[in-house]
Amino acid sequence: MNGILPIYKEANMTSHDVVARLRKILHIQKIGHSGTLDPDATGVLLVLVGKATKILPFLDDTDKEYIATLKLGISTDSDDVSGKIMETREIKQIEHFEELLHTFKGKQKQLPPMISSVRVNGKKLYEYARNNIPVTRPYRDIEIYNIEVLDTSAMKFKVACSSGTYIRTLCVDIAKKSGNIGCMESLIRTRVGRFIIDDCVTLNDIENGNIPLFPIKDALSHYPMMDYEPITDIVQGKHIRLHTSHTQVAIINHDEVFAIYEKDHEDVYRCVRGLW
């Protein structure tokens, strides 16, 4: 069994919990996931089964889409409502919520939350937080492609963004720019790459035999696809010549991704990952 399994992750479970349960249901150990979701968050979690686990490093730049709600008047240590309340403050009404959101469109630097898996000197930020060890958090380059209001009264909005964007931090920043303090109240991930919620199944669906495996090619749609012959060159890991300006490409054979190749010099490319 090989392929991409889009799961609708329910609340009150970690992404690791999903993988652990799937290993028991499917009786397969070679299962991983891309794009961790916090326990309280729900929505699209891409699970990689069998040889699809090989593509995990190549999904780092997969764009995502979320629906989030912002809660004003409190700040927490985790930047969401599940964390310890650090401060409360009277709420200043936001008169033009949509205009405020639009100021966050574009490329920018974002400071990740302390309760996160971002690594600094080999340790995850949440490990520093748990042990009360001070650490300088590194700013990360992100991009907000689109952000729109869904419900002004509920402070609900939809955001399409680059991989690595923390919506918890975005909520804190939106609140701050409005003259408030705030945190994230809820989060649903509605899309990862080309996969949307409608593609997903629940763990109960899997237990009942509904296992919609998608081909590896679908998860690598952000890579340019190129045919190459003879395919034996790829199997043998040879350097090959390609006429393209892209730094990395997916080599396909019979409509399946066979390998990821990377520019070595000029028009010569080398194999960085075989997927046969």
Which residues have a catalytic role annotated?
38
Tell me if residue 12 falls in helix, strand or coil.
coil
End-to-end CA distance of the chain: 13
Task: Provide the 10 A C-beta neighbour count for residue 28.
Answer: 13
Element (H, E) at 5: strand 3-9
Tokens coding 37: 């979701």
What's the per-residue H, E or C state across 109-173? EECCCCCCCCEECCEEHHHHHHCCCCCCCCCEEEEEEEEEEEECCCCEEEEEECCCCCHHHHHHH
C-beta separation of 78 from 84 below 8 A: yes
Burial of residue 275 (number of CB atoms within 10 Å: 0-12, 13-18, 19+): buried
Q: In the chain, where does DSSP find H-type helix?
A: 15-26, 97-102, 125-130, 167-177, 203-207, 216-219, 231-235
d(C-alpha 187, C-alpha 182), whole Å: 14
